[in-house]
Amino acid sequence: MKFKRLAEYFAKIEKEASRLAMTRDLAELFKEASVDEIDEVIYLALGNLRPKFEGVEFNLAEKMMLKVLGVAYGVELEKVRKAFKSKGDLGEVIEVLGVKSGGGRGLSVAEVYKRLMDVAVDEGKGSQDRKVQSMAKLVKDLDSLSAKYVVRIPVNKLRLGFSDMTVLDALSWMAKGDKSLRTDLERAFNVSADIGKIAGVFKKRGLGGIVGIKAEPGVPIRMAMAERLPSAEKMVEKLEVFAVEPKYDGLRVQIHVDKGKHLKLAGQEDLFGKAKKFVRIFSRNLDNVTHMFPDIVEEAEKLKIRTVILDGEAIAYNPKTGKFLPFQVTVQRKRKHGVKEKMGELPLKVMVYDLLLVDGRNVMNKPFKERRRELEKVMKGMKGELVLAEQDIVSDTKQLRILVKKYLSEGLEGAMCKKLTTVYQAGSRNFNWVKFKKTTEEGVVDTLDCVVMGYYVGKGRRSGFGIGAFLVGVREGGKIGTVAKIGTGLSDEQWREMKKRVDKVRVKGKPRGYEADKNLEPDGWCSPKMVVEILADEITKSPIHSFGLALRFPRLVKFRDDKQVSQATTKGELEKFFKMQ
C-alpha cells in the first residue's frame, strides 16, 4: 500500500463524527492492507511504531519538529513558529505554509515506516541533528497530505480519535461486517497486548489463529480489575467463602521473568540467536517501567523459577518503621531520571497477590485458590522486597469488617475480596474481585477516576494560582461527559500542581468527543490525558451534566498518573454507583 493511500484514509477518519462510521472506514483500510503490512498500518494509525509497552520513542519535541518543517520546505524558522502559534497543530502548519506536494514517487507504507523507525532508534552523539535531517528528508519526499500526518506522529498528536478497542471492532467488521468477533479478538488482546500482532495473525489465519494466542513472558497481559458492592452483607452474599487481602495504595505492577533456559520465543533472542534472560516490569497502563525499578528487578532475579508472570502492587515504605507510605509518595518512584537516588530515599515492597504463568504454563485458567497455592511455592524462601500478600479466608461479615478495620488502621485503602473458584479474567472488571474501601458503606461506594476536561481562571485569592476550579467527566465509548465542576477541597499546593498539569494538556478548542453544557464551558479546555481520583458525598440527578448525573460535594483525592483515560470511570459505572447509594 502506498502511504498516500493510508493518508487518505486518515483524512477521512479524522472528519468522521460517528464512531460506527470511523470503525467501518478502518475495516475498509484493513481489508486493503496486506498481511505483511497490516501491523505497521495499525501501529501508524494509533500514532506509534511498535506496541506501547516496547517504549519506542522519537525523542523529538514540537520545537524540533518546527525545525524539521523549516528544513524540509526551506522556510525560515520564525515563519514556521508563527504558523504553529496560529494553528496549534503541526499538520495544519503545512497547509498554512502553502508548500507544494513533495517527491511524488509514492513511498509505500513499509518505506515510510522504516524511515520513521530509523529516526526513532537513532541515538548517541549528534542524534538530534540527524533526526531533524532525516525527518526533513522524509517530509520533503512526501505529498503534503501524507506529510500532514507523518509530522504529527513523533509528538504523539495524530488526532484520529480512536483506540485499541476501536481497532478490534474494525477487525471484526473487516471479516464479518459486524462486531460479532469482537469478544474473541478482545480475549486474545487481553492475554497478549500487541494489537499489531493480533491483527496480523487474524488477517492471515482468521479466528483459528486468534484462539491459539497465549500469554508469554515479555508481552504484558491486561490486568484484572475489581467490582464494587455497597456493603459487607452484599459481599458475603455474592462471594460466600472467599479470600480477603489488604488493598494496597500503590503502583500496580506485572513482573515478567524469563531466565532463557527454555524454547526461544520470537523477538527474545540476542544477536547470536541465544535466548535472552530478562526481567520486565509493566505498569497498569502496560508501559514498560523496568528501568524505573532496578530494586524490583534485582529481587525478581532471585526467584528460583525459569519463567514466571506475577501480579502485584509496589508500595513505598519507611525503612525505619516499616509503615507503608501514601500513594502520592510512592508515585515519586515513577521517573526517568535520578532513579538510583530516589530508590535510596523511597524503598519499595512489592506485595505479590497473583500468578499468571509459571515455567511456561499458563495458569490464568486455574481457580484462584490453586493459583495461590502455586504462588506460595514460587515465593517460598523470598525474604527481600518481593513479598507474598497476606490472606485470610472469610465467610461472614463480622470477620470481614474486623480485617478491613485492621487494614485501614495500618494506613491501607481497605480490602480486596476474591472468589476462590474463579479464573483470572484478564482485562475484565467483574465480581471475581470486589473492593471494600473506607467509602464502601458511606454513600458513594467508591471514588471515581475522572478525566479533567477543562479549567476556570481563579478569582480573588486564587487569582494567584491562575486556576479556581476545574471540570471533570466520565467516559462512554468515544465520548467524555461532565459530572462535576470542582472548586473546593484542594490545598494551595494542590492548586499550584493542578495549574502546572492543566497547562501541559491545554488546547485551543473543545476536544472531539467532549460533551458539556454551554453553561459549564471552561476558560481553558484540556486534551483527554489527565485522570484524577475524586471522592463525593453523593451522586444526584442533574439537568445540566452530560449523562444526567452529578457529583455532590466532590473533592480531589489524588492525581492518577498511573491511569490512562481508557481506565477512567464509565457512564455505566456512574449509574451503578447511583443505584447502590
Place of cell 526517568: 336
Query: Catalytic site residue 247?
Result: yes
240 contacts 395 by C-beta, under 8 angstroms: yes
Nearest alpha-carbon partner for 66 in 47, 86, 80 = 80
Q: Which residues on neighbouring strands pair with residue 448, listed in sequence order?
A: 534
Sign of CA dihedral 92, 96, 101, 103: negative
* Integer angstrom CA distances of residue 537 from 299, 438, 578: 42, 13, 11
Sign of CA dihedral 167, 156, 297, 567: negative
Q: Distance between CA 141 and CA 138 in Å, rounded?
A: 5
Write the DSSP assignment of 108-151 as a string of letters.
Answer: BHHHHHHHHHHHHH--STTHHHHHHHHHHHHHHTS-HHHHHHHT
Write the DSSP assignment of 77-93 as a string of letters.
Answer: HHHHHHHHHHH--HHHH
Q: Distance between CA 195 and CA 44 in Å, rounded?
A: 12
Helix axes 3-15, 19-32, angle to 10 degrees: 170
Helix (H, G, I), strand (E, B) or coil at 25: helix
Residues 6+ apart with CB under 8 A from 488: 555
Q: Which of 4, 203, 247, 419 is catalytic?
A: 247
Beta strands in 173-266, from DSSP E residues, in sequence order = 225-228, 242-247, 251-258
84 contacts 64 by C-beta, under 8 angstroms: no
Write the single-letter amino acid at 387.
V
- The C-alpha cell that represents 327 in the structure block: 500513594
Which residues have a catalytic role annotated? Answer: 247
